[in-house]
Structure 1
């Protein structure tokens, strides 16, 4: 088992995905660092800072397979510097004429921050793909259950009738906004870092800005207006957007977690034969997917808070800020991609029990339609007086254990409603399908018709 749960042979499938692991493991990270160094050398050759043959040699030898990672680790521990061990080992495999030109004028943060930008770019691509699938799944549920009546709940209690399509359309609209946030934020967090010792690019003289442009172009990243060594807002924004996405996914998970409780029974997670809920209670079917979405979302929010803390840094370089990102950015990426992918599985396989939804509406004995009765009565006595009258009848009816219709028509509770509304009018008000307001039209605005 790995020391970190994301590396566990037993559990890593729940805490990350193979695609994100492929970006973050040691070999992948070092290879990407070497790619950055090769791009830097090539860009420096382009602007006349590095001999062309040296840049070619650096590019040809920028291969993690040529390095002994145990030796790189030993050199790193020996020198106490984050990347000097790697540079020493790389120089040993380079031809002599190229050795002095590798990492020419750059710093550890130029390398590692640029790597972070590349990871954020690639993970954004992965999340965008899964998020589109998740939105489509929510839209499909909204369209399929546009008219599937169920209790709407406020403060955990039944309120008014809605449809399950309405609930799913709210999810879809929220997910769509997150896709917009990702698209809008990319230009701010997909930027190279190249500043040298203090961010002034002094080492490269008058060729500094052309070098910056060439370096960014070769990596397919944007060019910042100014190096962002202590400006960690872009990383914090990336973390924050992923925290928002997973919070929505967690909300969906929490909702499904609650709705599949047997006493509610309105939905069920997809179930795989052989799946075991309890080693002691054989009957159990636990809400594994929805429950885990809440867990992953909590962890991403916690890590995102650390990213925001990193914005408070000192002077022109502060390792306390950006080195914390080495721990949290990989976690955020792993947890988010895992969460969105699990949520796709959850919504695409969700079982919706429409008959139970309607039964739960009917079990409320008409009380879910109290607002519609109040509205009809308001035309005669005013809204606030109508609320008081229906309230008195409803509270008395619930105390006596009778349905709302009986309570409204019984003089012993409150005669105001019966004075102004006939039994036929009350019956029309108590039809749950007539108490949906603009539900269908609102769903159509999200799903498109």
Structure 2
């Protein structure tokens, strides 16, 4: 039963995608844990630690849909041990000799950290797929609007001209770096864990190294090379990268949120005839997708901070660190993964209004270009003061009127100086979407 509003049937779609939910919901998690135990038993049988028949029986009966979930919960509560309920529920389904060899020499962290390796691999792949989808759309938008002039804004105020293609190219460029981070980091965090009691694999002596390698191979995870029970940088790095991804998507969302305000009207989210913006103000069209990207980013950042806290752990095992990850890692993954999916949908349906962009330039859009030209005649600082005085003396007039006594060349205010912006857009588009 859902205990949070974000898990309810009515609202869950805003906080997770079906693919992300499948990774974390109990049936899939339990099956993943059982798959890990199957891989461990198979590897142990291969090096001769347990009978091959036992490994075969474990593989045959380790089915989450046949597990007594109530018994798992009851035994976990009764014993106070994180995985003893799972072990005992599985033992009830296993014949001899398998019941004595399931979970043979393993610890809670061997199971849950290996599951984290699978989670980080699979969530990372989902996020990368959605970011690639968004990135490809942004490149098309950037190319289409390479020369679509709009106001560049600083401190929330209209400044000098840019192009919408240039703005979109900055979004694509940033997402490209996140795609590189996810691809490069995956090899570090998609690893298994087989450490034993204190990390030295004493229970499996002298077969520990070979056993860990075979175990990880069966799960298609990398061998970490060294036990990482108290070394939590992998999890912290994964959370940090996802929080960066969510931050960029929130930046994009905030731009769309601001620019679709009716008084600006330069962008619009894809229209939907069924969406109700307000039950008291029927004329409203709320920025649902772009607004929610900021909400998700806040959650991702907050929970990524908890994962970073886990790096400060004690000795060879510290439950304070990694048990907090059980709560925080799913929340980071769900928030950032959902944001990636929503952002891809948002930019795919984005409606651009070039006429409004041009109209919103304002009457003094050419001041930077004029300053550059006057600087060649008078020097930069004299020209700056000249412009400042002229514009202050005529606060309501356009640039030409304010500078009519200063020999203003008409060509300076004819077309915006955005050729270099176009060249930068071309470079980003030519780079393409990373694989």
In the alignment, what sits opposite 1:177? 177
In the alignment, what sits opposite 1:382? 379
The 8 Å contact of residues 191 and 223 in structure 2, kept in 1 or not, is answered as yes
Question: Gaps spanning 5+ residues in structure 1: where?
Answer: 411-417
The 8 Å contact of residues 54 and 96 in structure 2, kept in 1 or not, is answered as no
The 8 Å contact of residues 311 and 321 in structure 1, kept in 2 or not, is answered as yes
In the alignment, what sits opposite 2:253? 253
- Distance in 2 between residues matched to 1:439 and 1:395, nearest whole Å: 30
User: Which whole-Å deviations, capped at 9, do the CAs of 1:53-101 have from their partners, x for residues lacking one?
Assistant: 1111111111112211011111110110000010011111111211111
In the alignment, what sits opposite 1:436? 418
Structure 2 residue corresponding to 1:446, chosen from 417, 423, 428:
428
In the alignment, what sits opposite 1:409? 404
In the alignment, what sits opposite 1:86? 86
Query: Which protein has the bigger helix share?
Result: 1
Q: Secondary structure at the match of 1:206?
A: coil
- Distance in 1 between residues matched to 2:184 and 2:4, nearest whole Å: 33
In the alignment, what sits opposite 2:59? 59
2:233 aligned with 1:236: no
User: Which whole-Å deviations, capped at 9, do the CAs of 1:370-397 have from their partners, x for residues lacking one?
Assistant: 1111111111111121111112112222
Between the two structures, name the one with larger relative contact order (CA 8 Å, sep ≥ 6): 2
- Distance in 2 between residues matched to 1:395 and 1:169, nearest whole Å: 35
Counting only pairs closer than 5 Å after superposition, residues 303-318 of structure 1 correspond to structure 2 as 303-318=303-318
Q: Secondary structure at the match of 1:278?
A: coil
> How many Å apart are 1:2 and its aligned residue?
1.9
Normalised TM-score (structure 1): 0.94
> How many Å apart are 1:39 and its aligned residue?
0.1
- Distance in 1 between residues matched to 2:392 and 2:311, nearest whole Å: 53
User: Which whole-Å deviations, capped at 9, do the CAs of 1:277-301 have from their partners, x for residues lacking one?
Assistant: 1111111111111100110011001
In the alignment, what sits opposite 2:392? 395
The 8 Å contact of residues 307 and 325 in structure 2, kept in 1 or not, is answered as yes
The 8 Å contact of residues 306 and 324 in structure 1, kept in 2 or not, is answered as yes
Q: Secondary structure at the match of 1:191?
A: coil
User: Which whole-Å deviations, capped at 9, do the CAs of 1:77-132 have from their partners, x for residues lacking one?
Assistant: 01100000100111111112111111111100000000011011111111111010
- Distance in 1 between residues matched to 2:427 and 2:20, nearest whole Å: 35
The 8 Å contact of residues 42 and 52 in structure 1, kept in 2 or not, is answered as yes
Question: Gaps spanning 5+ residues in structure 2: where?
Answer: none
> Structure 1 runs of 4+ off > 6 angstroms?
none
- Distance in 2 between residues matched to 1:397 and 1:151, nearest whole Å: 22
Counting only pairs closer than 5 Å after superposition, residues 29-428 of structure 1 correspond to structure 2 as 29-361=29-361, 364-365=362-363, 367-398=364-395, 401-410=396-405, 418=406, 422-423=407-408, 425=409, 427-428=410-411
Normalised TM-score (structure 2): 0.97
Calculate the aligned-residue CA RMSD, in Å.
1.1
- Distance in 1 between residues matched to 2:148 and 2:376, nearest whole Å: 30
> How many Å apart are 1:437 and its aligned residue?
4.4
User: Which whole-Å deviations, capped at 9, do the CAs of 1:159-190 have from their partners, x for residues lacking one?
Assistant: 11001000000000000110000011001100
> How many Å apart are 1:6 and its aligned residue?
3.7
The 8 Å contact of residues 41 and 101 in structure 2, kept in 1 or not, is answered as yes
